[in-house]
Structure 1
């Protein structure tokens, strides 16, 4: 049983001279009350959220206008979404993201992250984060070409961690 029901995924921030610092991803407790949940997600991602599901048991929430805000590209979250989708995403994800369980249509809210997927998501986040920090030379070109072979390598590395 995991001790969290949602996972906050921070972007790896590249520094021009130094190796990127390891972001502090957060183990979160998702409010189950639909009236509170939307405000909570808004606070966690820093604005109006956009949700997408690339896995039947997981939902990724990001800022709906992160690119124009502008927020940092989130290579870690992009990698996870690409792993779950089974192919590289052709667009970027920006800013802090939150991973929850699937949407419950009957309640107008999202389910808690199932315990078996909470631990799996945490392993994947750690693997993707480690890969991006180790390969920090690729971060400056991130916004220009997410189809480069290095990005496929990040996906393969993360998939192996699952």
Structure 2
């Protein structure tokens, strides 16, 4: 059940994060004023990503990959699929959430709209790239 929630919630996170990054790039390029809508969009991205992290951590500690890693770490690391799901994916997602959190914190310290959009575009954009690179697509789409 938690695995399904984690998988379906990921669609929400991706959709919102993609929209936020595109919105930030458009705001930056077109030199728009940073509005309350932009603020809420960034906050909603932050919240949904953190919820996904919590769901993912709950699933991780119940997953067979964690149990394999815990039982025989050496053998688990030799199997690419187990390594991806037990080490690489969780670590990359923690890095992505950290980037989103840094982007959120940096944007709050900025005064100019351009700087706020730039913080979102850079940090949320990097987080999006990390997430897209480390999604286990074979499990997700299959």
On whether the aligned pair clears a TM of 0.5, the verdict is: no
Of structures 1 and 2, the one with the larger relative CO (CA 8 A, separation 6+) is: 2
Instruction: Give TM-score scaled by structure 1 length.
Output: 0.28
The structure where helix makes up a greater share of residues is: 2
Instruction: Give TM-score scaled by structure 2 length.
Output: 0.31
